[in-house]
Amino acid sequence: MGRTWLGHTVLLLFVTVPLLATAYAMYTLWARMIGWTELSLFFALYLLTGVGITIGYHRMLTHRSFESSNVIRAIFLMLGSMAMQGKAIDWAANHLKHHAHADEEGDPHSPLEGLFHAHVGWLFTAPPADRERYAKKLMQDRLIVFFDQTFLLWVAVGLIIPFMIAGWHGLLWGGLVRIAVVNHVTWAVNSVCHRFGDRPFAIKDESRNNLLIGLLAFGEGWHHNHHAFPAMAYHGMNWRQFDLSAMILRMLAKLRLIWNVKMPSPDLVERRRKKKEQEQRGEASADPIPGD
């Protein structure tokens, strides 16, 4: 079932209002109408809601890359909801649908239909992913369902906090500008990271590793690594691939606040890397990899 005209109107406001607010915010910055309080709110909430998406919605909720207590899960789900990228279960269902049909027919946001479609156009044209098909297990988790049903409450909290601290300019920078930047950085993973970057592993889709998006999206830009090994918790696979989300998860693991952190075996990583090298040399692989 597609979206109603009301749904499309809400989406249009969701995309355009933060952008218009950002344009005005640039004027306030140029005119020196704001100070360090507003900028600090922007960076702090950009970080918090950003990891709410990268760790909470993506690695924890969608791919179950680690386990944790309900307190830790609640914190990350709250921060992810505050990012204003949609209800938790809808977000996970859309992402799992993307993995099931990556760069093929049925992919909600493949750049094969154009970069604009992959970045933001899909929000208006792609049908919502079927929750029952792609996220049925999540719908049976009471904590996840709670945050899914109270999504708008947490969006409001993410706007009220900066307003209470610094008034309208706090709401502007810590709310609307932060939402615009977090959203477009996240959407750039869908668009930029399926068109520009390197592909060190032998997989069928067009996902790529991109340094700039890796930095801006706290490790999500190592998107090709993620598609090669979807369940792994740390997307940056060496010291050159900076992954802030992985650093946070390693700290939480050391504190024993998360456990059963998933990573691919070194043997599987090496086999998939060697298969890619064979393909580049035009050699047929004599060592098929399970799941290919």
Look at residue 109 and tell me if it is in a domain: yes
- Report the distance separating Cα 4 and Cα 209, nearest Å: 36
CA 185 and chain centroid, separation: 9
Closest CA to 246 of 272, 271, 267, 225: 225
pLDDT score recorded for residue 1: 47
Look at residue 290 and tell me if it is in a domain: no
Look at residue 57 and tell me if it is in a domain: yes
Prediction pTM value: 0.91
pLDDT score recorded for residue 286: 42
pLDDT score recorded for residue 290: 43
C-beta atoms surrounding 184 within 10 Å: 17
On whether the CB atoms of residues 276 and 201 are closer than 8 A, the answer is yes
Positions in the chain short of pLDDT 50: 1, 285-292
Q: How many domains does the chain have?
A: 1
Look at residue 119 and tell me if it is in a domain: yes
What's the N-to-C CA distance of the chain in angstroms?
Answer: 32
The predicted-structure confidence for 237-280, as pLDDT tens digits, reads as follows 999 999 999 999 999 999 999 999 999 999 999 999 998 888 87
Alpha helices in the chain (DSSP H): 5-30, 36-51, 70-82, 88-100, 115-116, 122-125, 131-134, 142-149, 151-171, 178-191, 211-216, 223-228, 244-254, 266-280
Look at residue 148 and tell me if it is in a domain: yes
- Report the distance separating Cα 21 and Cα 3, nearest Å: 26
Look at residue 188 and tell me if it is in a domain: yes
On whether the CB atoms of residues 120 and 126 are closer than 8 A, the answer is no
- Report the distance separating Cα 38 and Cα 67, nearest Å: 35
C-beta atoms surrounding 126 within 10 Å: 20
Look at residue 288 and tell me if it is in a domain: no
b/e string for 70-100 if b means 16 or more Cβ within 10 A?
eebbbbbbbbbbbbbbbbbbbbbbbbbbbbe
- Structural domain that includes position 192: 5-35+48-280
pLDDT score recorded for residue 33: 80
Specify which residues 67 forms β-bridges with.
259
On whether the CB atoms of residues 177 and 22 are closer than 8 A, the answer is yes
- In terms of residues, how long is the chain? 292
pLDDT score recorded for residue 5: 67
Look at residue 234 and tell me if it is in a domain: yes
pLDDT score recorded for residue 3: 61
Closest CA to 130 of 103, 102, 92, 99: 92
